[in-house]
Structure 1
Amino acid sequence: MRYIIIGAGAIGGTIGGRLFQSGHDVLLVARGAHYETLRDNGLRLITPGGDTTMPIPATDRPVRLGDDDVLVLATKTQDTAAALDAWAGAEHLPLVCAQNAVENERVALRRFGRVYGMCLWLPALHLEPGTVASYGTPLSGMLPVGRYPQGVDELSERLASDLAESSFSSFAVPDIMRWKYAKLLGNLGNAVEAMCGHADGWQPIIRQVYAEGTAVLKAAGIPYASREEEQAKRGDSVEMAAIDGVPRPGGSSWQSLAKGSGSIEADYLNGEIVLLGRLHGVPTPANLVLQREANRFARERRAPGSLDIETLAELITAESGSPSPAR
């Protein structure tokens, strides 16, 4: 079975690199300078355990496909539709959404008959062409996987098995979206980190966006795994460790701003809560402000960490008419 990793960034590069290290057939799909570096020099994967460069095959366009190929989509959600359009003609193959947010699987199911969700607890960094740093230890990440919209089948079991022998904690679950909604709640603070860095005073804002998120999911009747369940499953198998010379200044949304990509995932993280809130009559002012301001930051290509937390708190107060959530 060949794993075709569409989007070989922080997540896709780590998954593809670890699978390749354990002997699996892998093809990385990337663009621009990242693709050229992968093609010419291979993938450099830096982990707490070492620094390795691997000659993983790479491409910047669709390739001839075999019946045993599995597509693993690891782009940001805002790039999902365009990425899938590029692989028109591959709809007979299974597609795994190794992505945050909860919209990707719905988009994929419009095109592909067999769609799988993968939940990501995988701290990684990709800012330099050809290089990915992965900070999880002793395992690189925890990756539950399951058929979308629900169920476990032979392929999901094999995916979990292959990942489990490739430095991941992975297991097949029949309710993958319950896990992904839990991860969605955990990602609601991504925009705060992206815009404000690690400034003091962020905790009350995070509590507010999380409270809005749980209220919305309750109103919508959407189940999600508890923090206790996730922690019990993960245990101490995935902890974030420092890598000498390669600090991790921020997560995926921070990295989007740092790259100046012009887009960010806020429409599908905070924006998902805003959408559900509007559908079910639940106010979501903090998530609305984070969605709006993160999009503005990306559009204007503003530097990550350049907004002070007090200004963000004031914007949320103005939107909600409630006391400031910060300090």
Structure 2
Amino acid sequence: MRIIVHGVGAIGGVVAAALSLSGQEVIGIARGGMLDAIRAKGLLLDSERGHEVARFPCVGHPNEIKFREDDAVLLCVKGQDTAGALADLRSAGLNRQPVFCCQNGVANEPLALRFFPNVHAVTVMMPASYLEPGEVAIHCQPSFGIFDLGRFPSGHDEADLAMAAALERANIPTLVRDDAMAPKYGKLLLNLGNITGALLPHGADCKPFDDPLREEGKAVLAAAGIGWADVGDTERRRIHMKDREKAAQGRGGNSTVQSLARGTGSVETDYLNGEIVALARTCGVEAPLNERIQLLSVELMARGGQPESLTEDQLQEKLFG
């Protein structure tokens, strides 16, 4: 199996490097400075094992790849970039090969199913960062994170078993499950706090804001009849994802904070808090807190996407006032 990692950022970078270092055949799809750096000097993975440089082919667009029947795609782009990435893959010749959605949110899999028949859901628990082109860091040990995966909308197949085996060899313990969307909805609840970490100053107490957002999210999922699996403080997470004491590259915050820090020009809030808002509207219930925080993300980007733009008192007033 050859693995195509589409979106070599923080998560995609750690996964691509780990797979390559474990002997797996990998091709990356990246852009900008990351693409240039990987082509010039490989991708540096900073982990508890030290500094390792992974060298693998990397392209700027799927049309530079001659796809094979034994390919599998790990889709690691942000939710707002999924539609374009899927269209590019299809136009480049991808067809029935498995596509694994290694992304936050739950909108990617249904969208992928419009393009491809062989879609798989992946819940990613991986505290990774990418702040400098050509360098990624993983901030837990002894494993690089934990994944849950399975066929979308349910079940599993040989592609799931093969991908899980490859990830296991790459120090990413992976559970194959028939209800792979359940942990993805659990991760969605956790991600409802991503935008507060971006709006507030570094080190601020986000819990008074995140907990109500998540409780509202749980109520909306219940109204929609959607079950979810807890992926927070689990025994599996405690075993495989202990905090790493020191890393050369400091943790850049959650994925939304890192997007702002790199000046990507977009954040994925519409596919996180916005998912809860959309579900609430569909079910005829309300999600006022998630709707307000979603609108605050729009205001944030309209101001140029500068993080840490609100104090705790200001966010308190805007969210609950």
TM range (shorter): over 0.9
Post-superposition shift, 1:93?
1.3
Which of these residues, 214, 218, 228, is aligned with residue 214 of structure 1? 218
User: Which range is displaced more, 194-203 or 254-263?
Assistant: 194-203
User: Which range is displaced more, 276-285 or 294-303?
Assistant: 294-303
Unmatched 5+ stretches in structure 1: 319-327
Which of these residues, 73, 76, 79, is aligned with residue 74 of structure 1? 76
Aligned residues: 317
Per-residue CA deviation, residues 83-135 of structure 1 (Å, 9 max, x unaligned), is 11111221221101010100000110000010001101000011211111111
Post-superposition shift, 1:253?
0.3
Which AA in structure 1 matches 2:84? A
Post-superposition shift, 1:198?
4.0
Which of these residues, 298, 317, 321, is aligned with residue 320 of structure 2? 317
Residue 120 and residue 64 in structure 1: after superposition, are their counterparts in 2 closer, same or farther (change >3 A)? same
Post-superposition shift, 1:195?
1.1
Which AA in structure 2 matches 1:90? L
Residue 14 and residue 115 in structure 1: after superposition, are their counterparts in 2 closer, same or farther (change >3 A)? same
Give the whole-Å Cα distance in 2 for the aligned partners of 1:173 and 1:197: 38
Matched, 1:152 2:153: no
Give the whole-Å Cα distance in 1 for the aligned partners of 2:243 and 2:304: 29
Partner residue of 1:322?
Answer: none
Which of these residues, 250, 253, 265, is aligned with residue 253 of structure 2? 250
Partner residue of 1:280?
Answer: 283
Give the whole-Å Cα distance in 2 for the aligned partners of 1:198 and 1:37: 29
Give the whole-Å Cα distance in 1 for the aligned partners of 2:32 and 2:287: 38
> Is contact 1:257-1:303 (8 Å) kept?
yes
> Is contact 2:145-2:241 (8 Å) kept?
yes
Partner residue of 2:130?
Answer: 126
> Is contact 2:121-2:149 (8 Å) kept?
yes
Residue 217 and residue 32 in structure 1: after superposition, are their counterparts in 2 closer, same or farther (change >3 A)? same
User: Which range is displaced more, 200-209 or 147-156?
Assistant: 200-209
Q: Give the 3-state SS of the residue equivalent to 1:38 in structure 2.
A: helix
Matched, 1:191 2:226: no
Per-residue CA deviation, residues 236-276 of structure 1 (Å, 9 max, x unaligned), is 21123143432113110001111121110000000001111
- What TM-score, normalized by structure 1, do the two folds share? 0.93
Which AA in structure 1 matches 2:193? G
User: Which range is displaced more, 294-303 or 74-83?
Assistant: 294-303
Which AA in structure 2 matches 1:11? I
1:80-91 mapped onto 2 (5 Å cutoff) = 80-88=82-90, 89-91=93-95
- What TM-score, normalized by structure 2, do the two folds share? 0.95
